[in-house]
Chain A
Amino acid sequence: MTTAVLAPLADARPADGGAPARRAVVRWAWRLFRREWRQQFLILALIAVAVAATIVGSAVATNDPQPANFGFGTARDAVSFTTHDAHTASVIASLEHRFGRVELIEYETQSIPGSINTYQLRSQDPHGPFGGPMLSLVSGHFPSGADQVAVTSGVASAFHLRVGATWRVGGVERQVAGIVENPQSLLDEFALVTPGQVKNPTGVTALFDAPRVALSSIGNHAQTPASVAQSNPFNPETISLAALVLGMLLIALVSVGGFTVLAQRRLRSIGMLESTGATDRHVRLVISANGTVVGVVGAILGFVLGLVVWLAYRPSLEQSSHHVIGVLSLSWAVVVAAMVLAVVAAFIAASRPARAITKVPIVQALSGRPAAPRQIHRSALPGIVLLVLAFLLLGVSGGTNHGNGSGGAPELLFGLVLLVPGLILLAPFFLSLTARLGRGAPIATRLALRDLARYRARSGSALAAISVGVLVAVIVMLAAASRYGNVLDYAGPNLSSNQLAVHANTPPPAGTIERGPNGNQVVQQSTTTPETPTELATNAASIARALGAQLIALETPNAGLTGTHLGRQWNGAIYVATPQLLRAFGIKPSEIDPNADILSSRPGLSGVSGLGFDYASGGKYGPPQSNQSNQRCTAAAGCLAHPVIQEVGALPLGTSAPNTVITEHAMREFHITASTTNWLVQGSQPFTAAQISGAELAASTSQLSVEAKNDAPSSTAVTTWATIFGIVIALGVLGMSVGLVRSETASDLRTLAATGASSNTRRTLTAVTAGALGFLGALLGVVGGYIAMIGWLRSNSLNGGIAALGNIPIADLLLILIGMPAFAAVVGWLFAGREPAAMAHQAIE
């Protein structure tokens, strides 16, 4: 066998090898990823789930509300009228003259016999210039002549119609040509006829385009999709992106540990690469490229997963949101941002170990021995300084605008942002402290705590990630506790799902703009004759009857409560504790204190001092000042300073429900009168969306309005979800990092096993590692959360100052501080009994 010197190669090569070298290194990184993707599965899974959750969450958040062009079709502007008279015609003619094409949709509200439900006889050109998105054909065809009609499936069902049937509607015998729907509102029930076929329209909507024309110059009643959307202060995409950034920060923190262990696992290969002539830059590229590959693969997997979940969930969302949602109606900006952030987070997470590994001497790398952990005496001072700064900034934020905190958004943001690096910098110090505290512990515990401190590159980032997750949860819990704990300015869901509140409307004066049945703004052109109380009660009763539910009349007294507690004033309606109302909630007269003036389900209301019972001015007396409450609330002024309040748990808790009522005893004693303008409809089962819609339509034909359960979460729901969030983040991080931390000390484990350590020792090592990391993370997160809330509330009078934190969610905090670490320790114990596979030697590549 012979060899020959190979032909000399050209020397015009870049010093660092240029693109060919980078390609070679990236190719190798890709091959290694393919070989070792299982070791990176958890990071991949975290990234994929985060991207998928963001895609689905943002899609749901943006598609659940009515579409931005609801009621507008493709038009940029719309004006609606409640009559079609000469004035309306002249306005429409003026619009046509100024802006060209105007599409008219005329409608006439019709009752469905034997039902409280209604539908519209609607004339609209299916091929009109603007109304296309508001109309689609389900089957058959659109009406093409005066003798044809197309109906929605609801109308077809109510009148037992099918395509081809004959139906007399609007005084004309018509053939049903097709089944139609309004994709923007599946609750919109109508019978579609050709333009001009609605003889007595009760409303007209004019759609048109007035580009670059100020709304005010069109008229007071003009609307655009943008002007309607502006009323929504929350942008779902912004919220999704904010959550995504936080999620990716946590993932990056966790991934640092994963990539560090991966780099260590590849140490020998890295040494080989360096001995072959790779520069530091090439070595960094191997790890960074791996991180980027993990990010890209995670982002793609997340996109696919998110798309699949979205496609599966979209039909359900269509049903619950009552409008058609496009298959690919995703927030593409958020999708792209999520995928880019996933790659950036993985790249950043890999960069730190990439830099660190270039500092390992080549010979040591070739031996496969990791560098001995450096003895760093990291000071807690930088972390403490950042926490103090955060505390001060949050205090400044809370104290802005005379203590209501409404003007301190930048300080609030910077304060919260500073908390995160503060906790990250404190994490290694706490690990060292714990190791010192554990000096006298049994060997396995001592070793586990010492390893946590020695290998801070892994455990420090994991601890920081747990702390940040718990921090977010605790801030949400405490903010919810302080807000929901204020018994005067009561917050929470308005009603239960089996309740509807029916309110009598005050007839609007002429010219008032209201939302019409189509969702458009309707101009009230004429005054309406008010319905009598008897008529209103009859209509309310018919709504309850149609729902098969109980109707409870809510008498509103000309009296009310007044006062200030923890910076907030009394808020909410007060009704009369009529025998019917008490009976409806199962409260027996014998359960009521004969001296009680007020009954309330608001917890803690009876203990609030400074509350006044204003029986002379209908509750509009004004809040007494905290230092002179009794000066204003006097008998001479018609105010009882200390009413007797009895807390009755049987009363409903909703903010729109009768949670606080005046007893008949007080009514008599203070000569209070009352009137009935509100009713509570209470069923035995939660009302369906169709039932609520039917009730709303029925109310719209009268001078009533219906209030259904809103989406406001309860205190318990917010606290529970925050607790679950914190625990899931912490356990997820522990699941990833405990294995990584222990893998770094695998040689110690081999030594322990070889010297006779039993499985109990191995179990204890893992259990203590998981439990200690979990507990330290929870402790740091809780402390950080309290620092944030105390900092913000200490100068915030609107939210009651620090006293508002008196309502401590003890059970949830205990669950995070004790339950989560204990669970982690138990799981660690259960999974750590296996003997290490390579006890006698280290595996050679």
Chain B
Amino acid sequence: MSLLELHQISKSYGEGPTAVRALAEIDLSVDEGHLVAIMGPSGSGKSTLLTIAGSLEEPTSGEVAIDGASLRAMSRNDKARLRRRTIGYVFQDFNLLPGLTAAENVALPLELDGVSARKAHQAGLAALEQLGLADRAGRYPDQLSGGERQRVAIARSVVGERKVLLADEPSGALDSTNGEAVMRMILDACKRGVAAVVVTHDAHLASWADRVIFLRDGRAVDHVAPDLSDSSLATPRA
């Protein structure tokens, strides 16, 4: 079943002669439990595609459907609810809220969704524990290392009933060890049925995906299914 579907998505910035076309007629479908990697040079439209898929931005044309529901007809509040309940978003620079502890950051989508503070906190702690960060639950973002911050961000993106996980260069600010660890977590989420899209520059990490899409100048120029028989890729998919 396709949890994320993008149909003929185009996006332009500006108007008239200064208009810039960031995306042109992109089609993408991600099924339950699948991981799709998006690669491409800077300015190719990778992040724009992800923000449109994550309802953070409106496409100029085309249609986005999440779990069968079209975003076109949704109000701003409906989209916000979708981001709280269905979509998990992981940013390259973590985007953890200053002033909230790691546990509170993880619990935030639940609390925003009306879950009591106590239950949300318990859920946040459980998510952190599963990512090996239980002892960091009370720390503020500026008291965590880069790898820890990204793990907290991933915990936040999977807590609750998320079905779609969107990650924009989640390992971009991390060293290779932490980068691989992050990718493993995303794969774990996929194993639980989450549909995930990862934007990355790293071909090695992209090779862990079920499918890799190459973007250039806003167009999808290639679709690749990595050869899982390759020994270097066998371990992560195991």
CB pair A269–B98 under 8 Å, yes or no, is yes
Q: How far is the CB of A261 from chain B (nearest CB, A)?
A: 17
Q: Is A23 located at the chain interface by the 8 A CB criterion?
A: yes
Q: Give bound CA distance, A1 to B114, whole Å.
A: 30
CB pair A272–B96 under 8 Å, yes or no, is yes
Q: Give bound CA distance, A366 to B20, whole Å.
A: 20
Q: Which of B76, B95, B109 contacts A366 (CB 8 A)?
A: B95
Q: Is A31 located at the chain interface by the 8 A CB criterion?
A: yes
Stretch at the interface among A13-21, A61-69, A159-167, A505-513: A13-21
- Which residues in A have their C-beta under 8 angstroms from that of B91? 275, 366
Q: Which of A18, A279, A366 contacts B80 (CB 8 A)?
A: A279
**8 A Cβ contacts from A760-801 to B:** none
CB pair B108–A24 under 8 Å, yes or no, is yes
Stretch at the interface among A4-12, A376-384, A731-739: A4-12
Q: Is B134 located at the chain interface by the 8 A CB criterion?
A: no
Q: Is A28 located at the chain interface by the 8 A CB criterion?
A: yes
Interface string of B107-143 (1 = CB under 8 A from A): 0111111111101100100110011100000000000
Q: Give bound CA distance, A21 to B131, whole Å.
A: 25
**8 A Cβ contacts from B43-94 to A:** 51, 54, 56-57, 76-77, 80-85, 89, 91, 93
- Which residues in A have their C-beta under 8 angstroms from that of B54? 275
CB pair A363–B112 under 8 Å, yes or no, is no
CB pair A274–B110 under 8 Å, yes or no, is no
Q: Which of B85, B104, B109, B131 contacts A1 (CB 8 A)?
A: B131
Q: Give bound CA distance, A369 to B116, whole Å.
A: 34
CB-based nearest B residue for A364: B57
Given contacts A3-B188, A15-B77, contact A277 B112 (CB under 8 A): yes
- Which residues in A have their C-beta under 8 angstroms from that of B131? 1, 3
Q: Which of A20, A21, A279 contacts B76 (CB 8 A)?
A: A279
CB pair B100–A277 under 8 Å, yes or no, is no
Q: How far is the CB of B94 from chain A (nearest CB, A)?
A: 9
Q: Is A145 located at the chain interface by the 8 A CB criterion?
A: no
Q: Give bound CA distance, A844 to B116, whole Å.
A: 31
Given contacts A4-B192, A6-B123, A361-B57, contact A276 B117 (CB under 8 A): no
DSSP class of B's interface residues: helix, strand, loop or mixed?
helix
Q: Give bound CA distance, A363 to B184, whole Å.
A: 27
CB pair B80–A363 under 8 Å, yes or no, is no
- Which residues in B have their C-beta under 8 angstroms from that of A20? 111, 114-117, 120
CB pair B185–A32 under 8 Å, yes or no, is no
Given contacts A1-B181, A4-B192, A20-B120, contact A277 B130 (CB under 8 A): no
- Which residues in A have their C-beta under 8 angstroms from that of B236? none
CB pair A272–B95 under 8 Å, yes or no, is yes
CB pair B114–A363 under 8 Å, yes or no, is no
- Which residues in B have their C-beta under 8 angstroms from that of A4? 130, 192
CB pair A275–B95 under 8 Å, yes or no, is yes
CB pair A6–B111 under 8 Å, yes or no, is no
DSSP class of A's interface residues: helix, strand, loop or mixed?
helix
Interface string of B18-45 (1 = CB under 8 A from A): 0000000000000000000000000000
Q: Give bound CA distance, A345 to B159, whole Å.
A: 39
Q: Is A85 located at the chain interface by the 8 A CB criterion?
A: no
CB-based nearest B residue for A8: B161
Interchain pairs with CB closer than 8 A, number: 141
Given contacts A274-B80, A844-B93, contact A9 B110 (CB under 8 A): yes
Q: Is B219 located at the chain interface by the 8 A CB criterion?
A: no
CB pair B115–A278 under 8 Å, yes or no, is no
Q: Which of B85, B96, B112 contacts A24 (CB 8 A)?
A: B112
Q: Give bound CA distance, A273 to B83, whole Å.
A: 11
- Which residues in A have their C-beta under 8 angstroms from that of B89? 275-276
CB pair A24–B93 under 8 Å, yes or no, is no
Size class of the contact patch on chain A: 35 or more
- Which residues in A have their C-beta under 8 angstroms from that of B117? 20, 23-24
CB pair A13–B100 under 8 Å, yes or no, is no
**8 A Cβ contacts from A810-845 to B:** 844-845
- Which residues in B have their C-beta under 8 angstroms from that of A17? 84, 111-114
Interface string of A321-364 (1 = CB under 8 A from B): 00000000000000000000000000000000000000001110
Q: Is B195 located at the chain interface by the 8 A CB criterion?
A: no
- Which residues in A have their C-beta under 8 angstroms from that of B116? 20
CB pair A32–B115 under 8 Å, yes or no, is no
Q: Is A707 located at the chain interface by the 8 A CB criterion?
A: no
Given contacts A279-B80, A361-B57, contact A9 B161 (CB under 8 A): yes
Q: Is A217 located at the chain interface by the 8 A CB criterion?
A: no
CB pair B56–A363 under 8 Å, yes or no, is yes
Q: How far is the CB of A477 from chain B (nearest CB, A)?
A: 48
Q: Is A35 located at the chain interface by the 8 A CB criterion?
A: yes
- Which residues in B have their C-beta under 8 angstroms from that of A269? 97-99
Q: Give bound CA distance, A15 to B81, whole Å.
A: 7
Given contacts A3-B189, A6-B159, A361-B57, contact A273 B97 (CB under 8 A): yes
CB pair B100–A28 under 8 Å, yes or no, is yes
**8 A Cβ contacts from B136-175 to A:** 156, 158-161
CB pair B76–A31 under 8 Å, yes or no, is no
CB-based nearest B residue for A269: B97
Q: Is A489 located at the chain interface by the 8 A CB criterion?
A: no
Q: Is A147 located at the chain interface by the 8 A CB criterion?
A: no
**8 A Cβ contacts from A448-495 to B:** none
Q: Give bound CA distance, A17 to B84, whole Å.
A: 10
Q: Is A664 located at the chain interface by the 8 A CB criterion?
A: no
Q: Give bound CA distance, A1 to B129, whole Å.
A: 10
CB pair A277–B85 under 8 Å, yes or no, is yes
Given contacts A6-B160, A277-B80, contact A18 B56 (CB under 8 A): no
- Which residues in A have their C-beta under 8 angstroms from that of B179? none
Q: How far is the CB of A794 from chain B (nearest CB, A)?
A: 53
Q: Is A503 located at the chain interface by the 8 A CB criterion?
A: no
CB-based nearest A residue for B105: A276
- Which residues in B have their C-beta under 8 angstroms from that of A268? 95
**8 A Cβ contacts from A265-319 to B:** 268-269, 271-282
CB pair B114–A275 under 8 Å, yes or no, is no
CB-based nearest A residue for B100: A28
Q: How far is the CB of A673 from chain B (nearest CB, A)?
A: 87
CB pair A28–B99 under 8 Å, yes or no, is yes
Q: Give bound CA distance, A271 to B94, whole Å.
A: 12
Q: How far is the CB of A56 from chain B (nearest CB, A)?
A: 35
CB pair B56–A280 under 8 Å, yes or no, is no
Given contacts A20-B111, A275-B89, contact A5 B192 (CB under 8 A): yes
- Which residues in A have their C-beta under 8 angstroms from that of B76? 279-280
CB pair A845–B123 under 8 Å, yes or no, is no
Q: How far is the CB of B156 from chain A (nearest CB, A)?
A: 7
Q: Is A590 located at the chain interface by the 8 A CB criterion?
A: no
Q: Which of B51, B130, B193 contacts A3 (CB 8 A)?
A: B130
CB pair A276–B161 under 8 Å, yes or no, is no
CB pair A279–B85 under 8 Å, yes or no, is no
CB pair B115–A23 under 8 Å, yes or no, is no
- Which residues in A have their C-beta under 8 angstroms from that of B109? 276-277
Q: Is A628 located at the chain interface by the 8 A CB criterion?
A: no
Point out which of B83, B111, B127, B158 has the most chain A C-beta atoms below 10 A from its C-beta: B111
Q: Which of B57, B77, B108 contacts A362 (CB 8 A)?
A: B57
- Which residues in B have their C-beta under 8 angstroms from that of A361? 57
Q: How far is the CB of A409 from chain B (nearest CB, A)?
A: 48
**8 A Cβ contacts from A25-81 to B:** 25, 28, 31-32, 34-35
- B interface residues with partner A (beta carbon < 8 Å): 51, 54, 56-57, 76-77, 80-85, 89, 91, 93, 95-100, 104, 108-117, 119-120, 123, 126-127, 130-132, 156, 158-161, 181, 184-185, 188-189, 192-194
Can you list 5 contacts pairing A with B, beta carbon distance less than 8 Å? Answer: A3-B131, A5-B192, A5-B193, A13-B114, A276-B84
- A interface residues with partner B (beta carbon < 8 Å): 1-6, 8-9, 13-21, 23-25, 28, 31-32, 34-35, 268-269, 271-282, 361-363, 366, 844-845
Instruction: Given contacts A9-B119, A20-B114, A271-B95, list 12 more A-B pairs with CB under 8 A.
Output: A2-B188, A3-B189, A6-B161, A9-B113, A9-B123, A9-B161, A16-B77, A31-B99, A31-B100, A277-B112, A362-B51, A366-B56
Q: Which 5 A-B pairs have the closest CB atoms?
A: A277-B84, A13-B114, A31-B99, A24-B111, A277-B83
